[in-house]
Structure 1
């Protein structure tokens, strides 16, 4: 278990691993349809997607098959499934949870985090898995305050009074957002105000370009990280019938071993990193990333926290977008900025319209 410090910490704390959940291949996807094991279904409506890439973790928790789960979040893979399954998903601060032993997608974006049914449960799980790990070069060495203590403090009366809450104008609605999502978000902001919070509109102009930058940075890093799956060092090996050179074996193995979405992103990333295009694409995307970080910094000089919808749409039918990558990518519109900046992100479902003790009608 030493190769997976998060699981080792869970076992040491007395938690029992129940199993592994389904996800999009190499965490590339927003619906958990790009899996070698088939799609995961949303337990509230089995004809709809559970989000992705960590839809299996969110579905298992939403279906009461497990009280807690882990996921990885590179551009929203914990939070977006939380939004469409009614679970709590947390992307910790970059470097807050060790990634040692985890298969890398995009090394400058990946982070492991909790999935639960309540904020307190998520905070308790974060306290267990968080902290410095010298085996992870990106792990933050500083001591971490207790997230559970902060969550319990948040349950006290008048916690929100005087808290300055920023509504990000670029992420609060508009084109691509379902009317119902925008309405529920506005209702939530009104509840914050009624509880004593001070709501401030925040202008973060670079956020409008975050998704474009992300889909250059992520494929570029994925292309580099997945190069090791070459049939020579480890993993699958496919030997073609007519040809046995190393190049032939590599080509046949990667053709057979990678799914369509993974291949698409490898091609995009390899192109972005190729000679003559590196500065124009990857380099420019990194400049946008710096602007996103500056927008966050400017925002936090005015407010204590930022709020936005966790996803622009509700859960849509399985198969509806699988052949059209652009709408699929836009599912991460509101979650990506936090990954680019390395700041924490948290998905908390509005549960007022759902009976407290209700259970999903189906199972994933």
Structure 2
């Protein structure tokens, strides 16, 4: 049975079409794996009965007209609202919250025949790079090389861990500053953040509304193309949703990138970059050149301002978005002493309900939006964001089709190793990814090698806006050249 959970989406789709397996068998195989993987703490809300009902419905629908994801078992990040199922954003303040509505993404996936196995662990309100801020406890990377438990990355750490450990065939993630691509790199899977506006944000619990974007986390590039197509589409419920046709991303996967121009940004060559990351980047450049691409050096001069600009804009938007969690309408409410007023209820509820990292970012965000500091910080960061976006526009206007960079500055690190470090050290994990969110561009992380200890490393490709098909095809060529097939040895 466990062999079924190891299948890719496209292999499972073919097996279902040939009658070699059933949605019910696929689902039971995944549920069995989930039951035995408590040590990974990936799934935090289990929905086996929903999964079995959806699998039975999928088997009843089998045939030529079956939808694209018919019978495919998925994990859903806890940031997506799922009707009648706990949706907490990994925060105590939303304990007990069961939405009466379905997010647009999960509705589209279910309409496409997907099976929901359960909800996946994440950093609280998607704020984190290591999945250590969750009210459910740390998610754990299935990869390990010694006695240490390693981070699966964040904020979509539970999604990355579950896909890498074959607990599900694929999962949903969200990416505000790298939260799909960084955990994908840390766990040896593929993760794509589409262009801002390509996937509806309606029903996804907000962190930073101008940066958040949902995307798939999968076992390979083909699966990413299949799942992304079903997640995309215009949604009138989301005012930032683009009214554009959704192409067949899978059909774009020819692997032919002859004549394509790939840019290598000199500003991403950071001081102190580990030799293994530098060597992987060089190898990626060579692999794309061998596949027929033209490699050019490019400049993105405002890159060095991206991280500080991001950590002004994202907390500012979080401060605004999280103001709604006050203990009045839903979620956690603090117990009040006699004589406490409504202000006391707000203060106690938020102090009890929000974790340290969320409180830190809300306070930073409130500060940069306050009178006297708005122009000095928030407005200046917005201007820098415009310059970063312009850097990319100029490079693409000069004929560059995609940009190759490292996905992360290191392989996965041990849980707890950064717990007492300066928070900025943790934020540096996003150094290669935040520019993509600030500019609203599509970006994908592809596993491309192992470090000296045997842990996975990823390369990132950044594409032109709305050209996910072209980006996926370049990633497909890179994936084929890299030939990454390593899997974690089961210890959990």
The TM-score, its normalising length taken from structure 2, stands at 0.71
Q: 1:357 to 1:200 in 2, by over 3 A?
A: closer
Match of 2:446 among 344, 348, 352: 348
Q: How far off is 1:233 after superposition?
A: 2.7
CA contact (8 A) 2:448 2:484 kept: no
Superposed displacement of residue 358, structure 1: 4.7
Contact 2:447-2:484 at 8 Å conserved across structures: no
Return the alpha-carbon distance in structure 1 between the equivalents of residues 378 and 294 of structure 2. 39
| CA shift for structure 1 position 142 | 1.4
Deviations 1:184-209 (A, max 9, x none): 11111111112221111110011110
Deviation at 1:14, TM superposition (A): 1.5
Which of these residues, 181, 187, 212, is aligned with residue 277 of structure 2? Answer: 181
Q: How does 1:54-133 map to 2 (within 5 A)?
A: 54-133=156-235
Within the candidate set 99, 103, 107, 1:8 is matched to 107
SS of 2:186 mapped into structure 1: helix
Provide the residue aligned with 1:320 in structure 2.
417
Instruction: Tell me, yes or no, if the aligned pair for 1:26 and 1:105 is still in contact at 8 Å.
Output: yes
**CA shift digits 1:324-352 (9 cap, x unpaired):** 21111000000000100101111111158
Q: Is the 8 A contact 1:176 1:312 kept in 2?
A: no
Partner of 1:227: 323
In the alignment, is the contact (CA less than 8 A) between 2:316 and 2:365 conserved in 1?
A: yes
Contact residue 24 and residue 31 of structure 1 kept, 8 A? yes
Residue of structure 2 in register with 1:360 after alignment = 488
3-state SS of the aligned residue for 1:349?
strand
> What secondary structure, in the 3-state scheme, does the structure 2 residue paired with 1:61 have?
helix
2:296 maps to what in 1? 200
Q: Is the 8 A contact 2:181 2:407 kept in 1?
A: yes
Deviating more after overlay: 283-292 vs 312-321: 312-321
Deviations 1:305-335, CA, capped at 9 Å, x for gaps: 1110011111111111122211110000000
Match of 2:254 among 153, 170, 194: 153
Q: Which residue of 2 aligns with 1:217?
A: 313
Quote the Cα distance in structure 1 between the aligned partners of 2:484 and 2:197.
Answer: 35
Specify the SS of the correspondent of 1:101. coil
State the TM-score, normalized to the length of structure 1.
Answer: 0.95
> How many pairs were matched up?
358
Q: Is the 8 A contact 1:106 1:221 kept in 2?
A: yes
Q: CA deviation at 1:160?
A: 2.1
Secondary structure of 2:120's match? coil
Segment of structure 1 superposing worse, 307-316 or 191-200? 191-200
Q: CA deviation at 1:363?
A: 6.0
Say whether residues 1:249 and 2:345 are aligned partners: yes
The one-character-per-residue Cα deviations of 1:138-182 (angstroms, maximum 9, x if unpaired) are 0001112221122x222xxxx1222100011111x3225222111
Structure 2 partner of 1:169: 266
Corresponding position: 1:236 with 2:332: yes
Q: Computing the radius of gyration over CA atoms, which structure comes out larger, 1 or 2? A: 2
Question: Structure 2 matches for 1:290-309, cutoff 5 A?
Answer: 290-302=386-398, 303-309=400-406
Displacement of 1:242: 5.6
Structure 1: gaps (5+ residues): none
Aligned equivalents of 2:405 and 2:182: distance in 1?
Answer: 12
Larger RCO (CA under 8 A, 6+ residues apart): 1
Residue 136 of structure 1 corresponds to 238
* Partner of residue 471, structure 2: none
Matches within 5 A, 1:25-40: 25-40=124-139
Q: Choose which of 116, 126, 130 in structure 2 pairs with 1:17.
A: 116
Q: What's the Cα RMSD here? A: 1.6
Structure with greater strand share of residues: 2
Give the whole-Å Cα distance in 2 for the aligned partners of 1:92 and 1:357. 25
